Chains A and B, each alone.
Chain A
C-alpha cells in the first residue's frame, strides 16, 4: 500500500509515520511538505498513492534561502483535493489531520463533520474523516488506525 503524507511539520510527520509503521508496517510512505511538491508528485502519472494523510494548512513551496518566503495557505489542503479531482484521482481516500478546529471552504468556516460533507459534495472527494491533531491526545490516532484498516 502506497501512502502519501502531505505534512510540513516534521514532528507531526514523525508521529504519523510512527503510527503507520506499527499499524501498516508493509506500507510504502511518501512525504510531500508543501503544495507544489504534492501537485508535482500527483502529476507524475505513476505510483499513485492508495491513501493520503493530508494536513490543511500548508506552505506553497519549500523555503530556500534567497528565494523568497513561500505563501502560507491555511486551506492549502483544499488545493490538493482540487488537484486530485482534476486528475481524476478523487477516488483516493483521504484523512485530514489538522490543528485547526474548523476548515475554511470557499471562504466559510465549517466544523469537521460539516466540512467533510462539504468537501465530499462540492469537490467530489473521498474524505474518510477529518480529525483534530493534538500531540497530547490520542483521538487522532484512533481515527488514523480506522483509516488504515479500511
Chain B
C-alpha cells in the first residue's frame, strides 16, 4: 500500500476526515494522539497510517507536535512504531528531494564548520537549519557534539558565554524537552564521567519498543541485521523526520545489499549530497592536558563516533570496535560478514598476543591498527579478537602476556564472552591466571556463585603460596599487573574479607587485613587517599570497640560498615563530580529532581544519583542495612513472639479458667487470637520489609518518595557541597551521608509507628460480644478484656519503640573517649607506659570525620609524651570551649627526671619551625612536623607549647562542630 501524503482525499473514511479536521491547528500532542488512537480503534491500522501520513505533511497540522516530515522543533513522537515500508519512505523522499537537499547542504556546511572549530558560525547554521525545518535526530547529534566542544573550550567555567547562551536559545526554540530521553542517552554515551556500559545497559534495559527506544538502540548498535529490526529502525527514524529516514537508508546501504539497491531509487541530487556529507572527516583532538594514564583510559573518540556516523572514518572506526566492544555474549556469532571483513583488514598487522605487550606510545588508529601507537580501547578489542580466534585456548606463555595486558587494556571483564573465560580458567596453568580470570568473571557476573568461586581461587592461592597472607599475595600480583591488584584492593572490602573463611578466623581480622591492604596500596601507588582510609578504618574500629556493642533493641544500621561501603563504592565518583561541580562559594539552596536525576547528565544530578545510591544501600543492604535488621527481627521471631506470647497465655491463666470454660467465650477469644495472629503475620511477612517489587506493601521506601524526604535530601546535598568546599577534602562526607540517611528514613519510621498503632486499634483490641456472659459475669469479662488489651497495648508500644533511631547510630565519639583510645594504643606500644590520667574537661561529642584530625593531633602529643616523657607521670587532657566557637584542647605531661627542659624546649621549637612538607610520608603519626602539617592544612589552629619546671603543656584549637 503506497500512501501519498498531504491530501485529505487519500483518507477514505468520512469520519476520519472529520476527526482530522477537528485537530487542524491543534498543537497539543495529547489531543492529537487521542484522535489518532480513536481512528485506529474505529477504522483500523491502514486508516491510522493514512491519517498519520496526512498530518505529517498537511500544512494545517504543521504544529501537531507528534510527527512531521519536516520539523522546526522536536516532536513528542508516536507512542509506538508504525510500520512504513522502505518503498513508502522512498516515495516520500523523492517527493521532497529538493527540500531535503537544502537541508543536507546545510548539514554539510554545519559539519565542516564544526570540524574547523568555527562554533559560532556553526550555531548560525543551526539557526538556518531550524528555519528550513531541519530539526531531526541528526541535529540532536550535532548539537551534543557542539555542546561538548563548547564546554571544553570554556574550560568548564560556570559563567555563561555567548556560545553557551546561543546554544541555550536554540534548545529552547527546538523544544529539547520533547527529546529529553534521547538527549540524555546521547550525552551520557559520550560523557567520560559516565560509564559507557552503564548507559549501554540502560538503553537495552529501558527498551520499550517506542520509536525513541529504537533510535537510542541504534546509537550503540548501528549495524542492524534482519528485515524486522531494520524496518523498526527505519519507521522510527521516519516518524521523527524525513531527513533521518533518508540518512538511515543510506547508512544501512553501506553494508546491506537490499538497502543499497533501494538507495539507487532515491534522487541523484540527494545521493550526491549524502556522499559529500560522508566525506567530511571527523577530526579528533583530545584535551591537551591528558597525561599518559588518562590517555590509556580514554575512549573519547569511540564514544563520540555515533554523533557523526555519516563520516566515513567515524563510521568505519565505530563499526570495527563496536562489534567487539560490547557486552554481548554471542558477539562472534552475531558479527556480520561485512564487519568481519572490516575487522580482519583493520587488524592485519596484529596476529600474536605478544604484539600487544609492547611499551608503546598513545595513538588513535583510524585506518589500521598499530600496536606500537594505540590506545586501550584498540588493545582491548584486539585482545578479545585474539581470544575469540583461539576459541579460549591459549598457551602458558600467552597466559603470562594476557595477565600483563590487564594493565593496558580496559573492560575485558565486560567485553569478553563468559564461555572463553570459563575455558581459560579451566585450562589455566598458573594460580595467577586462575585468579585473574575469576576476577574478570566476577566483573560481569555479580552472582553469589561467581563471588564464591573468586573467593575460593583467591584463598587457594593465598594458602598455597603466601602463607594465607592476602597482602603478600597482592604484593606478588602488583609486580605482574597493577590493574588486577587495584581491582582486588577494591573488591576485597571488609565484608568480602570476612567471607574468606579459610583465612579470616575472626571478624576483626577482616578489618585489620583491609587496613593493612589499603595502607600498602596507598604507599606503592603514592596515593594518600588509601593511606588516609586505612587510618580512618583503624580509628573507627578502635572507637567502636570502646563504645561497646550495638543497641539491638532499636532499628540499626552499622555505621562502620556503612561508611566503609560509601568509601569503597561512592567516594571516588563523588570526589570527581564534586570537584567538577563545586565553585568556591557556599550554597544555601539547590533544585534537584530526585526522581529523574539518574537520567540527567548534569553533574549536580550525578552527585544526587550517588547520594540516592547511598540511601538505597542504607536501606537494602542485607548485611548492615535496615533490611538486615528487619531480617534479624523476623528471623528470631522476636516480633511475633513479643506480640503473641502473653496474649496466648491468658488461655491457661488460673484467674480466668471459669470464664474460658464457657465454650462460647473460649471460641470467641480463640477466634480473636487467630485474627490477631494473622495481623501480626501480615505485618511480619508483608510490611516489615523494604518496599520493592516483591514486597509491595513494605513500609520502608529506599527512594526519595515524599516532599519531606526531598527537603532533607536537598539539605544533604547542600551540607555535603559546603563541607567539601570548606575542607577541600571528602573525609567527613561518609559520616555526613550516614547522618542524613537516618534523617531521611525517620519519616518512614514514624509512619511505621503510626501504622502499627492503627493496626493495634483495629485488630489488637479484644471486646466480648457475648451478651449472656456480659450480663452474668460482667466484672470478670470486663477485667479479662482490660487485661488483654493492656498487654497488646504494651506489646505494640514496645514494637513501635524498635522503629526509632538508636542513640549509637551516628558515627560520633566523645573527645575524652577518643583521648582514652589513643592512650590505650600507646600503652600497647610502650609496655611500661602507665600514666596518671586526668581529664577534667566536660564531655564533648564530635561527629565522625571530624575526629580524625583531632585524633591525629592528639596522637602526636600523647605519642611524644609516651615516648619521651615520664612513663608513670601525669597526663592531663583538657577541653575548653572558647567564646569564638573553638575548642581549646591541651595535653600536659611530665618529662623524665633525666631530661633537661632546656634541651627539650629547643628540640620542640626547632621541629616546629623546620621543614614539614614530607610529614605525611616520613613521620606517620608520631611527629611534631605532622602537627605543623595539620595546622597548615587548617585542620587545627594555634599550636602552642608552654614549659614549667617538669611539665610540658601543648595546646591547639579546633573549630567546634568543624
Residues of A within 8 A of B (CB): 9, 35-36, 39-40, 43, 57, 60-64, 66-75, 78-79, 82-83, 86, 98-101, 104-109, 122-123
Residues on A with beta carbons closer than 8 Å to the beta carbon of B634: 99-100
A-B contact pairs, 19 of them (CB 8 A): A35-B501, A39-B501, A57-B631, A57-B635, A60-B499, A62-B506, A66-B508, A67-B508, A68-B511, A71-B498, A72-B623, A72-B631, A72-B632, A75-B622, A79-B452, A98-B635, A100-B635, A108-B694, A109-B694
8 Å CB contact of B637 from A40, A67, A99: A99
Chain B 500-523 interface residues, beta-carbon cutoff 8 Å to A: 501-502, 504-508, 510-511
The secondary structure that dominates the B interface is helix
A65 CB to closest chain B CB, in angstroms? Answer: 10
Is B878 part of the binding interface, using a Cβ–Cβ cutoff of 8 Å? no
CA distance A26 to B456 in the complex (A): 35
- In Å, the complex CA distance between A78 and B451 comes to 12
In the assembled complex, the Cα of A66 lies from the Cα of B507 at a distance in Å of: 10
A36 smallest CB distance to B (angstroms): 4
Bound CA span A71–B501, Å: 12
CA distance A63 to B260 in the complex (A): 72
Q: Which residue of B lies closest to A69 (CB)?
A: B507
Q: Chain B residues near A63: list those with CB within 8 A.
A: 507
Please state if A67 and B502 are interface contacts (CB–CB under 8 Å): no
Decide if B694 touches A101 in the complex (CB within 8 Å): no
CB closest residue in chain A, given B634: A100
B499-A61 in contact (CB<8A): no
Assembled-state Cα–Cα distance A120/B655 (Å): 53
Closest chain-A Cβ to B670's Cβ sits at a distance in Å of: 15
Neighbouring A residues of B147 by C-beta, 8 Å: none
Q: Given the complex, which residues of B lie within 8 Å of A122, measured CB to CB?
A: 449
B561 to A: closest C-beta gap in Å: 8
Looking at the assembled complex, report how far the CB atom of B617 sits from the nearest CB atom of chain A, in whole angstroms: 13
Q: Report the minimum CB–CB distance from B586 to chain A (whole Å).
A: 39
Within the complex, what minimum Cβ distance (angstroms) separates B426 from chain A? Answer: 14
Complex contacts, B504 vs chain A, CB 8 Å:
36, 61
Contact B449 A43 (CB under 8 A): no
In this complex, what residue of B is CB-closest to A62?
B506
Interface string of B429-449 (1 = CB under 8 A from A): 000000000000000000111
Find the residue from A9, A70, A72, A109 having the highest chain B CB count within 10 A. A72
CB distance from A134 to the nearest CB of B (A): 8
**Contact between chains at B549 and A101 (CB < 8 Å):** no
B685 touches A39 (CB 8 A): no
Report Cα–Cα, A106/B445, bound state, in Å.
Answer: 11
Q: Chain B residues with Cβ under 8 A from A60's Cβ? A: 498-499, 501, 507
Distance to closest chain B CB from A62 (angstroms): 8
Chain B residue contacts of A78, Cβ below 8 A:
448
- Which of A64, A79, A122 is packed against the most chain B CB atoms within 10 Å? A79
Chain B residues contacting A75 (CB-CB under 8 Å) are 448, 622
Contact partner, A66, options B545, B635, B685, Cβ 8 Å:
B545
* Contact present for A40 and B694 (CB under 8 Å): no
Complex: A136 Cα to B558 Cα, angstroms: 32
Output the nearest chain A residue to B456 by Cβ-Cβ distance.
A86
State whether A36 touches B505 (Cβ < 8 A).
yes
With A and B bound together, what is the CA distance between A68 and B547 in angstroms?
Answer: 12
Q: Contact at A64–B501, with CB atoms within 8 Å?
A: no
Residues of B within 8 A of A9 (CB): 636
Measured CB to CB, the closest approach of chain B to A90, in angstroms, equals 12
In the assembled complex, how far is the CB of residue A137 from the closest CB belonging to chain B, in whole angstroms?
12
> B648's closest neighbor in chain A, by CB?
A136
Pair B628/A74 contact, Cβ less than 8 Å = yes
Any chain A CB within 8 A of the CB of B230?
no
Q: Is the pair B495, A71 in contact by a Cβ cutoff of 8 Å?
A: yes
Task: Please indicate the chain A residues that have their CB under 8 angstroms from the CB of B545 in the complex.
Answer: 66, 68
> Taking CB as reference atom, which chain B residue is nearest A110?
B694
Residue in chain A with minimal CB distance to B692: A109
Q: How far is the CA of A35 from the CA of B157 in the complex (A)?
A: 54
Are A61 and B506 within 8 A (Cβ)? yes
User: Given known contacts A60-B498, A72-B628, is B506 in contact with A67 (CB within 8 Å)?
Assistant: yes
Partner of B506, one of A64, A86, A108: A64
Residues of A near B695 (CB, < 8 A) are 109
Q: Cβ of A83: which chain B residues have Cβ within 8 Å of it?
A: 452
Per-residue A-contact encoding for B540-559, CB less than 8 Å = 1, 0 else? 01000100011000000010
* A43 / chain B contacts, CB cutoff of 8 Å: 502
**B514 CB → nearest A CB, Å:** 12
Could you tell me the distance between the alpha carbons of A54 and B636 in the complex, rounded to whole angstroms?
16
B133 at the interface (CB under 8 A from A): no
Q: Does B411 contact A (CB under 8 A)?
A: no
B105 close to A (CB within 8 Å):
no
List the B residue with the shortest CB-CB distance to A109. B694
Asked, given contacts A69-B550, A71-B507, whether A99 binds B635 with beta carbons under 8 Å apart, the answer is yes
**New A-B contacts (18) at CB < 8 Å, excluding given A36-B501, A79-B452, A109-B695:** A9-B636, A40-B501, A57-B631, A67-B506, A68-B545, A69-B558, A70-B498, A71-B507, A71-B623, A72-B631, A74-B631, A99-B634, A99-B637, A106-B447, A106-B448, A108-B694, A109-B694, A123-B449
A104 contact set on B, CB distance < 8 A: 622
In Å, the complex CA distance between A60 and B623 comes to 11
Restricting to B853-880, which residues have a CB under 8 Å from any CB of A?
A: none
B532 adjacent to chain A (CB < 8 Å): no
C-alpha gap A61/B495 in the complex (Å) = 12
- Shortest C-beta distance, A5 to chain B (Å), equals 17
Residue B719 at the A interface, CB < 8 A? no
B739 / chain A contacts, CB cutoff of 8 Å: none
**A61 close to B507 (CB less than 8 A):** yes
Task: Give the distance in Å from the alpha carbon of A108 to the alpha carbon of B495 in the complex.
Answer: 20
- B453 on interface, CB distance cutoff 8 Å: yes
A35 to B502 alpha-carbon distance, docked (Å): 11
B473-515 contact mask (Cβ, 8 Å, vs A): 1 or 0: 0000000000000000000000100110110111110110000
Report B-chain residues with C-beta under 8 Å of the C-beta of A62.
Answer: 506
Find out whether the CB atom of A61 lies under 8 angstroms from the CB atom of B635. no
Q: Which residues of chain B come closer than 8 Å to A68, judged between CB atoms?
A: 506-508, 510-511, 541, 545
The 3 A-B pairs at the shortest CB distance, nearest first, are namely A68-B507, A68-B508, A39-B501
Q: How far is the CA of A63 from the CA of B549 in the complex (A)?
A: 11
Which chain B residues lie closer than 8 Å to A61 at the CB level? 498, 504-507
Please give the distance in Å from A140's CB to the nearest CB on chain B. 13
Minimum CB–CB distance for B212 against chain A, Å: 30
Whether A82 and B636, one on each chain, are in contact in the complex, defined by CB atoms closer than 8 angstroms, is no
Min distance, Cβ A66 to any Cβ of chain B, angstroms:
7
- Select which of B447, B453, B499, B508 is within 8 A of A86 by beta carbon: B453
A86 touches B622 (CB 8 A): no
CA distance A13 to B505 in the complex (A): 23
Interface residue ranges of B622-640 to A (CB < 8 Å): 622-623, 628, 631-632, 634-637
Task: Give Cα distance in the complex from A24 to B572, angstroms.
Answer: 57
A-contact bits for B308-319, CB 8 A (1 contact / 0 none): 000000000000
Minimum CB–CB distance from A80 to chain B (whole Å) comes to: 10
Report chain B residues within 8 Å CB of A73.
622-623
Minimum Cβ distance to chain A for residue B269 (Å): 57
B449 → A minimal CB distance (Å): 6
The CA of A123 and the CA of B545, in the complex, are separated in Å by 38
A36 to B507, CA, bound (A): 10
Which of A40, A64, A74, A82 is the one whose CB lies under 8 Å from B622? A74
Q: With A57-B635, A74-B631, A100-B635 in contact, is A82–B452 under 8 Å at CB?
A: yes
Residue interface mask B655-689, A partner, CB < 8 A = 1: 00000000000000000000000000000010000
On chain B, the residues within 8 Å of A67 by CB distance are: 506-508
Given A69-B549, A86-B456: A79 and B502 interface contact (C-beta under 8 Å): no
Most central of B448, B456, B498 by chain A CB within 10 Å: B448
* Shortest CB distance A85–B (Å): 9
Whether the Cβ atoms of B685 and A101 lie closer than 8 Å is: yes
Q: Are B502 and A39 in contact, CB atoms less than 8 angstroms apart?
A: yes
Chain B residues contacting A99 (CB-CB under 8 Å) are: 634-637
